[in-house]
Chain A
């Protein structure tokens, strides 16, 4: 169904023409009907004839334009982020983006019926290829997978992973088991086999609670708390030895903040010093794995009022190779990435604008 093509050979020595990479923009499935061309007759009829409409839940509040960037909610009933033309106009052209990485958070993980989960992830990936990747050469995307079914997720990665537009696999922050758990081994093997990046994104619908103390009342809590969920995922990936098994695998963490990274790593390193014997395959301090294997997008900034404190938080990460520019279009944020880019050294600003993403995704 999808032609496989090898990625263009990398030539790191030539100066890159890619000056700005937006590592987190959203492609939203506007309606179940939009996937009809990519669904079998069985599922089309099922959706048309019954109450089942596919994964209609969303990591962002439904019908809540407060989380959308002003101006994105214009296209009638279609949700923000579902229109390629608007993305081209508002982000790619407006910001001068050379490459943008699409993240589709369609909640395949909410479908407990395994056959529906597979059918809808296949349809979503085929839709991403036909209606986004094939229509603008500046776009790349993450493969949508049924994370709850690791063997089938791996099969889907193998099915479409050769398409040059797919550069990563979209993994929800909220899962039934942490992403490093051995239950997810087939996914990491497929990511490594296909030379892709694992991309942990905001949200997820595993049906288990979003905090260790159960379900919260407000979206506000879930939004803030996603950083803590992601922290647990980072702990899992490193503790379980995902990067020891797959030394070439890298993980992008999207839309979950970064000002917490330094102090989070102090604690993680400390516990490893105490408890190394339990996980002897972890041979270096966790912070070193983070600097070598993990990348974080910068929106939301979650910045303090004080520039000095903001710079300290960035410095505490301990590497210039960790942060990547992102708009998180079409979501609304309080601070512009410009605040960060203007504050850091020009060298670091260049790494954030494009250098780190170029290296991560092999963009040249």
Chain B
């Protein structure tokens, strides 16, 4: 059986800078994998390569047996890869409900004529989308903010809106880019609960970038460590924790410090 995501020797460079080199990774359905590494290691670049923001210079990205390298980002997203962003890319003029509604874009089937002339099919589908959107908002406990502009929400709630929005695209694989950045210890605990929750409820596979080891250790079944665009270690959380190469990458070598 095919793996959900199978990346084979993916490389990418910006001008002379080799950002990602020979990156290979397999993610099975419903697995939670952590991607760690020091700042500038190329973790977000990996996300951007998977989601089609950049086209890999070489290598293959297979999603359920289909090569998606070089596809448009919106195509890849509608094939089942959802994502959140490191620094919250929300649509600042829009209310919370609209965020989740728009993420249903690829599921709309009534076409432009339907949108223009308000056909019964359009109205029915819009109602359904509104309903599922409200359910998602409830699921992430932001439903009471539904009609507020997203910018007026507290930071933790904005994070939850972003995840709800990503879940509305019905992903099979969810890419979370530092979901706990800037969070308080309480919010962190809550976020662990949320991620465990969506994993249990939707059975979605998750690849997450994270700096807080406690968080990664608790959630992930496998951790990949990236340093200067190359994987230096891969394995179970405990192995990674004690791996000398990883310790070196994070803390530096003993004889230097």
Q: Are the chains A and B members of one assembly? A: no
Residues of A within 8 A of B (CB): none
Residues of B within 8 A of A (CB): none
